[in-house]
Amino acid sequence: MERIIVLLVLLLRTSASNASHSLSLLSTYIEGKTQFPKFSYITALDDITVGYYNSERYIPKGNTSNEDDVVNSDYIKGISDYMHNSFVRRSALFRQHSQNDGIDVYQTLVVCELLDFDKPGKMLTKDAAGGCTTDELCYFNSNFTYIVTANIAQEVLKPHLEEFKQKYEKFYYKICIDTLREYIKKRLNEVNQTKEPKVRFIQKANADSGMFRLSCLATGFYPRHINMSLFMDGQPVADHEITGGDLLPNGDGTYQMRKSLKISAVKHKYTCSVTHLSLDHKLVITWEDELSSYHTGVLLFGLAVLLCVCVILAIAIVICIKRQTESQTEDEVL
């Protein structure tokens, strides 16, 4: 599962570009026995899953109307067969260079984009083995860029590259863009929905170092594209001082992002700035004098606890004295 998660993160980062909308297909081929299908893929419009192939059939997801006219069944079969055969060949190739007899995971990510004003953007294909990218092909403005990152010759990795480029340009690119446009028509309201981020500072003390961790958290926003910046006394905080910044999904389909830095008790003014499609203007929140407030709060809490203890002791003493007095009175009566 860890190898699969690696490319799922890659999917988020790759498709999070300046495109207006994107259509992506993440396919997985598993060599070895697992509880998962040997060959499967997920189709997503932006970050909305619209379909799933489970080695046997294509299953639409989340559709509220008939989308049979969006995805041609012949295209599904043709693309599925091609990708499956490609995985089988790649599996045989990599197993020649590997001593691993266990489970091997191979994945391919395909993304095409529409820019503003319905202008076709780039189409990108990334192949991965064991959670690491092996090669990638990008097509944009009638130009190809091919990069090999694995320690295998290009001729071995893609022996029919020129033939594949021709199919890419004349067939796959057009199908992907046309399908993307049809999905947008069907799910326009869904892909255009927005949810504003809820932004706040979170402070946590580190007892060992005496330092504090100050985090800016933005959560509950959609779509996923967001910009977050941290400032100290009006100046940008250096990147090497900031941790986090990863985009993470929430369970309700929204997203969250957190950036953190270590701070001391020295007084500074910290600012978190967030821009998002759902916001009419930049959202800015400020944090200052919080350390003093924190210490004051701790002190007040301590005093309150001490006061409670004193009251309890006083009541106990009064009760004790009263019982002693009553006991003495009873003895005198006897």
One DSSP character per residue, 54-101 reads: -SS-EEE-S-SS--TTTS-HHHHHHHHHHHHHHHHHHHHHHHHT----
In sequence order, the 6+-apart residues with CB closer than 8 A to the CB of 286 are 269, 270, 271
State the average pLDDT for the chain: 82
pLDDT of 14 above 50 = no
- Rounded to an integer, the average pLDDT of 75-102 is 79
- Rounded to an integer, the average pLDDT of 112-116 is 91
pLDDT of 321 above 60 = yes
The pLDDT of residue 326 is 61
25-52 exposure pattern, b = at least 16 Cβ within 10 A, e = fewer = bbbbbbbeeeeeeebbbbbbbbbbebbb
Whole-angstrom CA distances from 59 to 40, 51, 168 are 11, 5, 25
In sequence order, the 6+-apart residues with CB closer than 8 A to the CB of 206 are 212, 213, 262
Measured over the CA atoms of residue 45, residue 50, residue 54 and residue 56, the dihedral's sign is negative
Give the residue among 48, 58, 5, 60 at the shortest CA–CA distance from 28.
5
Q: Please give the share of the chain, as a percent, with pLDDT higher than 90.
A: 36
The pLDDT of residue 80 is 85
Phi, psi of 323 (to 5 degrees): -65, -40
More confident call, 245 vs 328 = 245
Task: Spell out the domain ranges in the chain.
Answer: 2-191, 198-291
Q: pLDDT category, 288, cuts 50, 70, 90? A: confident
CATH superfamily of 2-191: MHC class I-like antigen recognition-like (3.30.500.10)
Dist. CA 100–CA 299, nearest whole Å: 60
pLDDT per residue over 212-262, tens digit each?
889 999 999 998 889 999 999 999 999 999 999 999 989 888 999 999 998
Beta partners for residue 212, in sequence order: 205, 263
In sequence order, the 6+-apart residues with CB closer than 8 A to the CB of 207 are none
SS3 (DSSP) at 227? strand
The pLDDT of residue 97 is 64
Q: Do residues 135 and 39 lie in contact, with contact meaning Cβ atoms separated by under 8 Å?
A: no
Supply the DSSP symbol for 237.
P
Its pTM surpasses 0.75 = no
More confident call, 15 vs 151 = 151
Dist. CA 79–CA 23, nearest whole Å: 15
Q: Please give the share of the chain, as a percent, with pLDDT higher than 70.
A: 82
Supply the DSSP symbol for 68.
T
CATH superfamily of 198-291: Immunoglobulins (2.60.40.10)
Dist. CA 320–CA 29, nearest whole Å: 78
Q: How many helices and strands in the chain, by DSSP H and E?
A: 7, 16
SS3 (DSSP) at 223? coil
Dist. CA 164–CA 172, nearest whole Å: 10
In sequence order, the 6+-apart residues with CB closer than 8 A to the CB of 182 are 69, 70
